[in-house]
């Protein structure tokens, strides 16, 4: 699917309408994505209930609802038999992004979406305020204000904000790079993510620990948000601005022999898939080809880079491992599960069920009930597993799991660090 945002055709509502009708007609005849996500259920239900029983019976409000309840899990792309190189050239998630972008240009972007689109600004302000932001977000009054201003449902668990961000910790402890104990077998540029930097630095510290433990020199290049929250609100220009800034810092590192590694499945997906499609150019292609999820990279080290350290000393018991949609959609296999299963005395039950978050969508008041409905199978599976530890690569899915089950979650990197017997500050 062409995603050339410099073309007038991309922004033409009539051209978009024709493309939507064409794709919906194919989906109506196929229905392979029935029950895959709310968008398709809404589409099929409203087509069937229309006067004609066909796509031409859909009203403008029906189109809008189909677009609104697409939360960009990306799973339909791999499920669809008509994706490129098929002549139908269907990329449903990007078509929904285009629809949101065209609408945003015509109607403007709501204040809440504009604020959510810049987690770096929010994180910096929260870090400067010490624990005040976390305290405020933890009070009922604070949550009501957040609901009014940002549109985040008052009952969605608020992430805590830290006073010492991950990038500051890394610079203070390691300077330019964290070194392994023995000569490095590889070089990693860590794309550590906004959530790690401002909310869960322990995931970043654990990532550094297990990478250096496995012979990798780790650098933390200058970076900004990958841009996904801006895409959620239809702000293509803000997304592209962030993408170009990140590419300017990451592409030279690829040239210098670094692999780009991220502990966040949404960010690794965006760097791999969305930068080449929406920014294009040699740097975007280069960075995409050399970006890895951290589990994917460690399995690569195990296979090609001299093996992985299996000196695990602490069994982790029974783990319920949630496979996030944005990791599943990368088609790289179950790498985190493979790594966790290397730990002696550890049983891993993998749960393939959507958390209903996928960026900022599931946090919002207007989609709260639907998000919980989507996540219900996940909640039930976690409870049924009766695990010692619940693990997910996605921090936002972790918040939803905590909300629905009471279980706090860990990132796979944290579990591996613990299994090695390392402390939170250890790097080798």
DSSP string spanning 24-41? HHHHHHH-TTTTTSHHHH
Distance CA(65)–CA(45), nearest Å, equals: 12
Q: CB under 8 Å to 390, separation ≥6 — which residues? A: 319, 320, 322, 382, 401, 405, 407, 408, 409, 410
Q: What share of the chain is helix, strand, coil (3-state, %, to 5)?
A: 55, 10, 35
CA–CA dist 386, 269 (Å, integer): 31
Are 354 and 375 in contact by the 8 Å Cβ rule? The answer is yes
Pairing of strands 389-392, 317-322: parallel
Q: Which pLDDT belongs to residue 415?
A: 98
**What's phi and psi for 409, nearest 5 deg?**
-115, 160
C-alpha Rg value of the chain to the nearest Å: 22
85 preceded by cis ω (within 30°)? yes
CATH top class, domain 166-304:
mainly alpha
Count of helices and strands (H, E) across the chain: 23, 9
Residue 424, number of CB atoms within 10 A of its CB: 12
| CA dist list (Å): 130 to 164, 203, 236, 289, 424 | 9, 20, 32, 38, 21
In order along its 428 residues, the chain shows pLDDT tens digits of 668 899 999 999 999 999 999 999 999 999 999 999 999 999 999 999 999 999 999 999 999 999 999 999 999 999 999 999 999 999 999 999 999 999 999 999 988 888 888 989 988 887 776 655 555 566 777 778 878 888 888 888 878 889 899 999 999 999 999 999 999 999 999 999 999 999 999 999 999 999 999 999 999 999 999 999 999 889 999 999 999 999 999 999 999 999 999 999 999 999 999 999 999 899 999 999 999 999 999 999 999 978 899 999 999 999 999 999 999 999 999 999 999 999 999 999 999 999 998 778 888 999 999 999 999 999 999 999 999 999 999 999 999 999 999 999 999 999 999 999 998 765 54
At 148 the pLDDT is 84
Our CA dihedral for 288, 2, 359, 68, rounded to 10 degrees, sits at: -170
Measured in whole angstroms, the distance separating CA 76 from the mean position of its chain's CA atoms is 16
What is this structure's pTM? 0.94
| CATH code of the domain made up of 317-420 | 3.40.50.1860
Which token pair is 212?
A: 């250096």
Confidence (pLDDT) at 105: 95
Is the separation of the CB atoms in 181 and 214 below 8 Å? no
Query: Do the Cβ atoms of 349 and 319 come closer than 8 Å?
Result: yes
Identify which of 194, 189, 417 has the alpha carbon closest to the alpha carbon of residue 309: 417
Cα dist from 305 to 290, 302, 309, 330, 336, whole Å: 15, 6, 11, 22, 18
What DSSP letter does each residue of 235-266 carry, written as one string?
-HHHHHHHHHHHHHHHHHHHHTTPEEEES-HH
H/E element, 343? none
User: What integer pLDDT is reported at residue 426 of this predicted model?
Assistant: 59
CA angle 349, 351, 355 (to 5 degrees): 145
């Amino acid at each position: 699917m062409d995603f050339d945002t410099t073309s007038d055709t991309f922004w033409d509502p009539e051209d978009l309408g024709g493309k939507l009708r064409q794709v919906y007609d194919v989906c109506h005849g196929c229905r392979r994505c029935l029950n895959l996500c709310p968008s398709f259920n809404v589409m099929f239900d409203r087509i069937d209930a229309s006067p004609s029983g066909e796509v031409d019976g859909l009203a403008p409000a029906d189109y809008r609802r189909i677009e609104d309840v697409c939360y960009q899990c990306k799973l339909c792309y791999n499920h669809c038999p008509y994706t490129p190189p098929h002549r139908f050239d269907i990329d449903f998630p990007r078509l929904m992004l285009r629809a949101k972008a065209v609408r945003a240009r015509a109607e403007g972007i709501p204040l809440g979406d504009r604020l959510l689109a810049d987690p770096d600004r929010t994180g910096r302000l929260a870090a400067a305020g010490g624990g005040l932001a976390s305290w405020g977000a933890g009070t009922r009054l604070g949550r009501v204000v957040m609901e009014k201003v940002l549109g985040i449902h008052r009952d969605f668990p608020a992430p805590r904000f830290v006073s010492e961000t991950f990038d500051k910790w890394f610079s203070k402890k390691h300077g330019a790079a964290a070194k392994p104990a023995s000569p490095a077998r590889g070089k990693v540029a860590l794309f550590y993510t906004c959530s790690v930097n401002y909310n869960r630095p322990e995931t970043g510290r654990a990532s550094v620990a297990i990478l250096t433990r496995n012979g990798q020199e780790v650098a933390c290049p200058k970076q900004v948000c990958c841009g996904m929250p801006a895409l959620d609100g239809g702000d293509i220009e803000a997304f592209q601005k962030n993408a170009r800034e990140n590419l300017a810092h990451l592409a030279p590192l690829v040239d210098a022999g670094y692999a780009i590694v991220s502990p966040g499945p949404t960010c690794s997906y965006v760097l791999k898939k969305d930068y080449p499609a929406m920014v294009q150019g040699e740097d975007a292609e280069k960075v995409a080809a050399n970006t890895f999820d951290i589990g994917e990279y460690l399995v690569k080290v195990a296979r090609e880079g001299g093996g992985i350290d299996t000196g695990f000393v602490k069994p982790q018991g029974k783990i319920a491992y949630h496979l996030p949609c944005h990791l599943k959609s990368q088609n790289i296999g179950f790498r985190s599960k493979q790594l966790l299963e290397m730990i002696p005395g550890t049983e891993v039950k993998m749960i393939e069920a959507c958390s209903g978050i996928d960026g900022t969508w599931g946090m919002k008041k207007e989609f709260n009930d639907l998000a919980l409905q989507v996540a219900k199978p996940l909640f039930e599976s976690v409870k049924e597993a009766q695990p010692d530890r619940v693990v997910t690569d996605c921090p936002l899915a972790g918040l939803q799991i905590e909300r629905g089950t009471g279980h706090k979650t860990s990132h796979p990197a944290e579990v591996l660090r613990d299994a090695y017997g390392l402390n939170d500050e250890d790097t080798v």
